[in-house]
Amino acid sequence: MEIFQATLRLEPKRRGVHLVTREILSQLPELSHIQRGTLHLFLQHTSAALSLNENADPDVRRDTEAFMRRLIPDGDPLFSHTLEGPDDMPAHLKSMLFGPQLTLPVTDGRPALGTWQGIYLVEARAHGGSRQIVATLTGVTR
């Protein structure tokens, strides 16, 4: 059984739902050595999240962002935590709803994702900056 851990960096993205599967996997060459195991991804931020969803139709990403903006609008007078601007507390709530982590099975050196599944960064800040993910890979090597 092998265990590998690395901190990955995602390029800054504007607010929205971004497919980041390739960006993450390109930073994990060790994944190719795992015959079967798990990949755990933990986002080290409180104003963004990770999600798994359809990777084929970009409308899914746009519709998810539109829904989140309606559900938790920027500048809602309900919020008192606005230290970093009107998107501050809404970003924290969106992060809590989607969550900071994913655990994926690994089979033959790749995440065992479904045909239409991809890994998403849900960027809840207008200007979130680069994001860090701690990736922990555990499994049986080839």
pLDDT in tens, 106-137: 999 999 999 999 999 999 999 889 999 999 99
Core vs surface per residue 73-101: b (16+ CB within 10 A) or e:
ebeeeebeeeeeeebbbbbbbbbeebebe
In this structure, what is the dihedral angle of CA atoms 45, 46, 48, 54, given to the nearest 10 degrees?
Answer: 100
pLDDT band for position 60 (50/70/90)?
very high
Long-range contacts of 63-66 (CB under 8 A, 24+ apart): 64/17, 64/122, 65/15, 65/16, 65/17
Using DSSP, state whether 23 is helix, strand or coil: helix
Instruction: List, in order of start, the domains of the chain with CATH numbers.
Output: 2-141 (2.60.120.460)
| Of 48, 64, 37, 46, the residue nearest 12 (C-alpha) | 48
Rg over alpha carbons for the chain, rounded to the nearest Å, is 16
User: pTM of this prediction?
Assistant: 0.96
Number of H helices and E strands in the chain, helices first, is 3, 8
Q: For the sheet containing 2-10, what is the strand order?
A: 2-10, 131-141, 34-43, 101-107, 110-111
What are the beta bridge partners of residue 25?
none
pLDDT at 28: 98
